[in-house]
Amino acid sequence: MSGYNPLGGGYGHNLHPDETDPNNPFMDPRSRSPERYHSPSYQLDDRPYVHEDAPLEIPVGPGPFASTDRLQPQPTYSVENIPGSYGHAEAYEDVHQHAYTPNPFQQTEMHGTGEYSLTPQYEHTQDHLYAQPPTPLPGVHVQDHAGFAGFEQPQHPYYQDDADHMRPMLQSDTAYGPNPDDVGGPPQDASQDIGDIEGGYSDAQQRPAAAPIRRWKTVKEVQLFNGNLVLDCPIPPRLLNQVAHAQPPERDEFTHMRYSAATCDPSEFYDKRFTLRQRLFAKPRHTELFIVITMYNEEDELFARTMIGVIKNIEYMNSRTSSKTWGKEAWKKIVVCVVSDGRAKINPRTRAVLAAMGVYQDGIAKQQVNGEDVTAHIYEYTTQMTLELKKGIVSVKKGSTPVQMLFCLKEKNQKKINSHRWFFQAFGEVLDPNICVLIDAGTRPGKSSIYDLWKAFDREPMCAGACGEIKALLDHGKALVNPLVAAQNFEYKMSNILDKPLESAFGFISVLPGAFSAYRYVALQNDKTGQGPLEKYFAGEKMHGANAGIFTANMYLAEDRILCFELVAKRNCSWILQYVKSATGETDVPTEMADFILQRRRWLNGSFFAAVYGLAHFYQIWRSHHSAVRKAAFVIEFIYQAINMLFAWFAIGNFFLVFRILTVSLSGDDLLGTAGFILAVIFEWAYIAILVTCFVLALGNRPQGSNRFYMTQVYFWAILMSYLLFASIFITVKSVQQQVSENGFSFAQLFTNKLFRTLIVSMCSTWLLYLISSILFFDPWHMFTCFLQYLLLTPTYINILN
């Protein structure tokens, strides 16, 4: 690879530094203050890098995965000329051993395997992650333009003039200038007092009387790129050793991480002349797949689970050598974006995983740029590391396929919808991708699930959105021991067997789950007037307090349903939505009743009002360019959804009627008689009392504080449902016996019995339909492992969640 310098001529490496160049790092010999200066309103409180005590290996040269794409020169500032940055410094790293400071989030080598696990324990015996600057070697004595004496510095292209790793990389604009009275000099003894070193005195010299020490530090001015703070940061040498890369002084996307400090709203990202690395190559890369992983404070295990699935999908697409779109360099067409909602909220271990992959570095981010607050910190790097998850321990190891990663760390916590704004309005406008894939942290896509989603768009040009099958994470069936998990697994299975395929056949899926779905970027765009799917999708973010009524506020709790409707009903378009069964994604489900209620309460509030919105704006379908047949299909589907919503509204009353009919029927003389009557009265009064308690508890917004009350209700509803199941079977058997004893066995005669006919038809329309449809889909196992748990929890779904 020819000499590539993305930082511009004035800031790149130079094998023969010009001593007259004011930008030369060797021309600034001013000593620093040993005290860390922080400006709370300016410098972020990031944890600086720490070091170990073993020497680094010299980085390898270009390997099979070294990029041949050249990045165009950019006037970004090289962080190798800034204190606290991390260059290669091979000459020093190979010779000197340095002091070690333990790091609770360091990478630890696993018994010489070349893999590294992220553990919170201190490891004192491992190689160090980052190079610490050694004691200066004898070299050329330089004099700066102001005439201050400097230390002797070696002539090395990667030398850093002031690499104190415990200081911020960039200094505050309130820093003092150099002290003209101080005379610098090299330290003579490591044990010498720091004040002596600052003043330039050795042990042989007499120290003046004690006086307040005036502390000075170097101020670094950073050249802005298009008016924005953009830095190219060398990755830690320990990570560089593990990957193929260009040999210094050449650079590529594997040797440097790109940092941008965004000071604008996501919608202004492109207009403010921010850009991304994919657009800076000599031949800009086309982004076919743009994948976003949204997270809040998820643990490293959840993030690793998702990231492992994404990397496996990229490897799968790389292996499709016969594909016209994918193949050996498929990774160049895929960008993985991780958006974290709030700098103070991100899990430290998850941040450590990102750092181990090379996509994050401490001590770089700034809180203000030119007096403007930074809204998001954007890190870009093409990583060759992959993750491994064993027994809850995340390991980092060398991967087989590079992955273009974009990490957006938002300064404030502004909810998931704002994270999607950064993805669609900021990064999407720059990269202009074809397909956008949305994944929640914790959801693990199948080995080829992302490819299967993409294939649905490739086959159907008018497909605007697609989703796959969301599965409950069962841990090889162990999680089914929990009845709540089993019930949710059954619910997910039946939704993916009955609901999604039916809606996909009509062309409109009521909701594409945000945990794992995909959209065509062109279909999402607004029209010239600013009206369209994305405008409606993001409208809820600006509605707060008096700006939003009860209906609107609840409706935008399910903004993904609004987006689906707006896509299908888009003016002068004929977009459809599809379900892809082969695309699977496993996700965690609540294991505690309080968490389950909190999740479903949020879902149901939003889904109901969003469904009402869709029915109220159904007329917009006629403004689209769908065919007459398709519009007729939409009419049928919306009628079906209206009936479903009507039944859901009256579900509590319908369940009470079923309960009343069955319990009263058991009190007949030919059934349980007096015992049945007594049980009917007891269950009826208990039913009413528990139902009233449900209404009272629903007025609160903290199910965790009332977990015991909720669990008491769940047990009662399960006992009640068991009694109703017994009543249904007992009454049916008695009806058949009575019919056979009177008229002999005949199917025609059996159905003349009104009670028998009502019970059999109702059970066959639900339970038997579940079994038959599951068998037709070749996925019947949940009927044997989860059906009973779902039946017992059905009253809980109806009475507590509705």
719, part of any domain: yes
127, part of any domain: no
Q: 321-357, pLDDT tens digit by residue?
A: 898 999 888 999 999 999 999 899 999 999 999 999 9
674, part of any domain: yes
Tell me the three-class secondary structure of 213-247, residue by residue: CCCCCCCCCCCCECCEEEEEEECCHHHHCCCCCCC
Q: Which two tokens stand for residue 87?
A: 């260059």
| 68-72, 148-152, 776-780 — most confident range | 776-780
537, part of any domain: no
More confident residue, 165 or 512: 512
419 CB-near residues (< 8 Å, 6+ apart): 292, 294, 339, 341, 408, 410
Residue 159, pLDDT score:
32
Q: Which two tokens stand for residue 518?
A: 């995909």
* Alpha-carbon span 366 to 43, nearest angstrom: 6
Residue 475, pLDDT score:
85
- Average pLDDT, stretch 254-272? 91
Residue 303, pLDDT score:
95
More confident residue, 631 or 59: 631
More confident residue, 616 or 24: 616
> Is residue 520 within 8 Å of 465, Cβ to Cβ?
yes
* Nearest in space to 401 (alpha carbons), one of 318, 278, 306, 333: 318
Q: Which two tokens stand for residue 744?
A: 């002999």
598, part of any domain: no
Global confidence as pTM: 0.74
Q: 677-724, pLDDT tens digit by residue?
A: 999 999 999 999 999 999 888 887 788 888 888 999 999 999 999 999
Residue 267, pLDDT score:
92
353, part of any domain: no
> Which secondary structure element, helix H or strand E, spans residue 720, and what is its range?
helix 707-743
* Nearest in space to 314 (alpha carbons), one of 442, 405, 423, 403: 403
Give the least confident one: 134-138, 281-285, 313-317, 485-489: 134-138
Question: Which band of pLDDT confidence, cut at 50, 70 and 90, is reported for residue 469?
Answer: very high
Residue 126, pLDDT score:
35
Residue 557, pLDDT score:
77
594, part of any domain: no
- Average pLDDT, stretch 400-415? 92
* Alpha-carbon span 743 to 750, nearest angstrom: 9
Q: 411-466, pLDDT tens digit by residue?
A: 998 889 999 999 999 999 999 999 999 999 999 999 999 999 999 999 999 999 99
Q: 178-188, pLDDT tens digit by residue?
A: 333 443 333 33
* Alpha-carbon span 429 to 273, nearest angstrom: 12
More confident residue, 86 or 339: 339
Residue 430, pLDDT score:
94
The mean of the pLDDT values for the chain is 76
- Average pLDDT, stretch 572-583? 94
Q: What 3-state DSSP class applies to 482?
A: coil
Residue 235, pLDDT score:
87
pLDDT beyond 60 at 50: no
Q: Which two tokens stand for residue 680?
A: 């009917």
pLDDT beyond 80 at 378: yes
Q: In whole angstroms, how far apart are CA 757 and each of 430, 599, 687, 743?
A: 63, 38, 27, 16
755, part of any domain: yes
| 438-442, 529-533, 559-563 — most confident range | 438-442
- Average pLDDT, stretch 362-388? 91
Q: Which two tokens stand for residue 134?
A: 């050694």
pLDDT beyond 80 at 544: no
Residue 364, pLDDT score:
87
Length of the chain, in residues: 802
775 CB-near residues (< 8 Å, 6+ apart): none
* Alpha-carbon span 177 to 217, nearest angstrom: 6
* Alpha-carbon span 307 to 294, nearest angstrom: 11
The DSSP result for 731-774, as a single string, is HHHHHHHHHHHHH-S-HHHHTTSHHHHHHHHHHIIIIIHHHHHH
Residue 797, pLDDT score:
92
Question: Which band of pLDDT confidence, cut at 50, 70 and 90, is reported for residue 471?
Answer: very high
Terminal CA-to-CA distance of the chain, rounded, Å? 63
pLDDT beyond 70 at 559: yes
- Name the residue range of residue 687's domain: 650-801
What is the β-pairing status of strands 372-373 and 368-369? Answer: antiparallel
Q: 237-247, pLDDT tens digit by residue?
A: 888 888 887 77
> Is residue 483 within 8 Å of 792, Cβ to Cβ?
yes
* Alpha-carbon span 696 to 702, nearest angstrom: 12
pLDDT beyond 70 at 24: no
Give the least confident one: 466-480, 529-543, 674-688, 738-752: 738-752
* Alpha-carbon span 246 to 253, nearest angstrom: 9
Question: Which band of pLDDT confidence, cut at 50, 70 and 90, is reported for residue 382?
Answer: very high
- Average pLDDT, stretch 391-403? 90
Q: Identity (one letter) of the amino acid at 399?
A: G
Residue 548, pLDDT score:
66
Give the least confident one: 74-83, 384-393, 753-762: 74-83
- Average pLDDT, stretch 249-253? 77
Number of domains the chain contains: 1
